[in-house]
Structure 1
Amino acid sequence: MAYWQGLVTGAALVGMAVTLVAAARPGTMKTLDVERINIREPDGTLRMVISGRDRFPGAFHKGQEIDRPDRRFPAGMLFLNDEGTENGGLIWAGKSESGKTNAGASLTFDRYENDQTLQLLQTDNGERDMAAVIISDRPGESMFESKDGKAAVREGSAGGAPRLFLGKSRDRASVLMLQDGSGLPRMMLRVEKDGTSAIDFLDDKGAVIRSIGPDA
């Protein structure tokens, strides 16, 4: 009798040990199907949203969500800073309807409480595509405000201007374009798809006032 009791007791101890080890080990999962994931700090502050198209969020300011109907076409990830305010994201979309392509992707990083200063962009409409790195100026003031106690995007807050474009243009040229504080192109280095190359200097109307070619 004591022998069997010993076996049972030993088996019970082994079972308890296995249970404790399993409880201490993080769970693993091969596949996870969800429509949206919210990643939060221990205090509840939202830091990242990963979502499909139909549940992609609006903008966020200090934890309050702002409706953005213009964002209901992509899937992606939204980045938020320590205060729960949007400061960048990664979005992508792509489909073909009636033989026409509409696709693209964008990775952006925002200035504090303002819009994107760095963007990695790709677009494709089937006939033309473009891929570029774009650097922009943004004002120091916040693009958000409070209306009736709710966060909102301030009207006329889309300030700043693109300052640098580096990439492949829609006409398949390799381009380095430098812009002034108003966003106007003032200097451009281009290599066309046939190999023709030049450095162009432009005035404030967009006209080329000087061009330097390979033989200059």
Structure 2
Amino acid sequence: MNNPSQNQISLEKQLAKMQKDLVRLKWYAGSLTLVFVAVFFLAFTDSGITRFKEISAERINIVESNGQLRMVIANKERSPEVLAYGKPLTPPIPGANRPGLVFYNDEGTENGGLVFMGGKDSTGKYHATGHLSFDQYNQNQVLYLTYSDENGAQKTGLNVDDWQTSPLFWDFRAEYKKAQKMPDSPKKDSLLKKLMEPTPGVKAVAQRVFVGKDVNKTAMVTLADRMGKPRLQMLVDSNGTAKLNFLDEHGKVTYSLPK
């Protein structure tokens, strides 16, 4: 029969073993928790993929990893103001007026978008617009598809424009807005003309190509000079009559086929 001292030694050994087993159990539980958290994190974060069947949102910002804006999808009220290098223009072009998508380049400057609107007013007249555009670097749109309908007066087509390379669009716009606010005078007229035609025979902005249909339901291809003056037109009117016109700088037809 064991004496009390032997029983005490045996009990102490059992307690020591239990403490070691408890420590091992804690390590095991902690390790298992870390593994579970890591798997969860990798599954829902590192993969970068989360699936939704449906999302309702007033605005979604698409950004780079550093937070820089690349695209905004928004309703009318949440649509952004125009940005250049990530900052509003001076004077600003406010937002809250163009539902759709807005694109931004690598420097955070707006460079195109897709907008669409339409509806009836209190008199029952309707309007509808669809517009997909791409902007010249640091300038305004130079390639765009537009559908515009003012209660049946409809114009639809592909447009290609020229924009000057300098000054920058927002600087040009600020100077033009400033000139518009001047009192009517020959000085104001001269300044506005200089802004719109900085080089003789070359406009600051000019529509060079139009392929589409005008408000008279004439299908056309129009090529213009650097002043935006149509110089060559290929037309098929609403009655199906086809014509090819050559025009001078004043808009006068100089040669036409068929004669």
- Same topology, TM > 0.5: yes
Match of 1:43 among 66, 82, 103: 66
Match of 1:20 among 39, 49, 67: 39
Match of 1:82 among 94, 106, 127: 106
Cα distance in 2 between the residues matched to 1:72 and 1:188: 38
- SS, match of residue 255 in structure 2: strand
- SS, match of residue 55 in structure 1: coil
Cα distance in 2 between the residues matched to 1:32 and 1:94: 24
Match of 1:162 among 207, 221, 240: 207
Cα distance in 2 between the residues matched to 1:72 and 1:101: 21
Q: Give 1:155 shift.
A: 2.2
Q: Could you tell me which residue of structure 2 aligns to residue 5 of structure 1? A: none
Q: Give 1:128 shift.
A: 2.0
1:10-159 matches, within 5 Å, as 20=39, 24-25=43-44, 26-66=49-89, 67-69=92-94, 72-97=96-121, 98-141=123-166, 142-145=168-171, 153-156=173-176, 159=204
Cα distance in 1 between the residues matched to 2:174 and 2:98: 24
- The answer to whether the 8 A contact 1:187-1:199 is kept is yes
Q: Give 1:29 shift.
A: 1.3
Higher strand share: 1
Runs of at least 5 residues in structure 2 that lack an aligned partner in the other structure: 1-31, 177-194, 197-203
Cα distance in 1 between the residues matched to 2:43 and 2:231: 62
Q: Give 1:176 shift.
A: 0.3
Which letter does structure 2 place at the counterpart of 1:85? T
Which letter does structure 2 place at the counterpart of 1:89? G
Runs of at least 5 residues in structure 1 that lack an aligned partner in the other structure: 1-12, 146-151
Which letter does structure 1 place at the counterpart of 2:159? I
Q: Give 1:99 shift.
A: 1.6
Q: Give 1:27 shift.
A: 2.3
Cα distance in 2 between the residues matched to 1:153 and 1:85: 16
Q: Could you tell me which residue of structure 1 aligns to residue 246 of structure 2? A: 201
Which letter does structure 2 place at the counterpart of 1:29? F
Cα distance in 2 between the residues matched to 1:153 and 1:118: 19
Q: Could you tell me which residue of structure 2 aligns to residue 175 of structure 1? A: 220
- The answer to whether the 8 A contact 1:201-1:208 is kept is yes
- The answer to whether the 8 A contact 1:57-1:68 is kept is no
Q: Give 1:154 shift.
A: 3.4
CA offsets 1:134-156 (integer angstroms, 9 cap, x no match) = 001111122134xxxxxx95323
Which letter does structure 2 place at the counterpart of 1:187? L
- SS, match of residue 57 in structure 1: coil
Which letter does structure 1 place at the counterpart of 2:207? P
How many residues end up aligned between the 2 structures?
194
Cα distance in 2 between the residues matched to 1:99 and 1:40: 41
Query: TM-score, normalization: structure 1?
Result: 0.81
Identical counterparts, % of pairs: 33
Query: TM-score, normalization: structure 2?
Result: 0.68
The answer to whether residue 235 in structure 2 is matched with residue 190 in structure 1 is yes
- The answer to whether the 8 A contact 1:164-1:178 is kept is yes
Q: Could you tell me which residue of structure 2 aligns to residue 9 of structure 1? A: none
**Of the two, which has the highest radius of gyration?**
2
CA offsets 1:44-90 (integer angstroms, 9 cap, x no match) = 21111111101111111111023324x54330111110000111111
After TM superposition, what 4+ stretches of structure 1 lie above 6 angstroms from structure 2?
A: none
